[in-house]
Amino acid sequence: MSESQTTVRLLPWSTPDGNPCFLAGDGSGYVSRVADSIETMQLDMADELLGHADDMLGDPKVTVRELRFLATELATALRDARRVAVSRGARLSSSVPGSEGPGNDASAGE
């Protein structure tokens, strides 16, 4: 992909009414860097949650309330990680000649 080529990127946040946000550009601007940083934080948080899950699931004293909270946080982390994967996958496919490019199904399930 050339530097001047414009792509559409699914951002790691939504509008206030829950719709996906997209950015058109070459991927080198301020908003792209903020999105990269947020995606990194989301993936790091998911990794930390997995560590907590391993600990909690091995502890027979964990309460149902604690497990429900863990399940809620894991579901959020999984949604975030899926969104990162969809966004990055769409950008990868747009750089492959002959692919359908962004939007082929980047908004599916969002």
Sign of the dihedral through C-alpha 92, 94, 99, 103: positive
pLDDT-based confidence at residue 105 (cuts at 50, 70, 90): very low
Considering the chain, what is the average pLDDT of its residues? Answer: 85
Band of pLDDT at residue 35, cut at 50, 70 and 90: very high
pTM of the model: 0.73
Do residues 27 and 91 touch, judged by C-beta distance below 8 A? yes
Position 108 pLDDT exceeds 60: no
Place of tokens 């908004």: 107
- Delimit the domains of the chain by residue range: 7-94
Distance CA 100, CA 16 (A): 29
Q: How far apart are CA 99 and CA 92, in angstroms?
A: 10
Q: What is the pLDDT of residues 65-84, one digit of tens each?
A: 999 999 999 999 999 999 99
pLDDT tens for 38-67 read 999 999 999 999 999 999 999 999 999 999
Looking at per-residue confidence, does 4 or 71 come out higher? 71
* C-alpha 80 chain-centroid distance: 4
Cα–Cα dist 82/71, whole Å: 16
Q: What is the pLDDT of residue 90?
A: 84
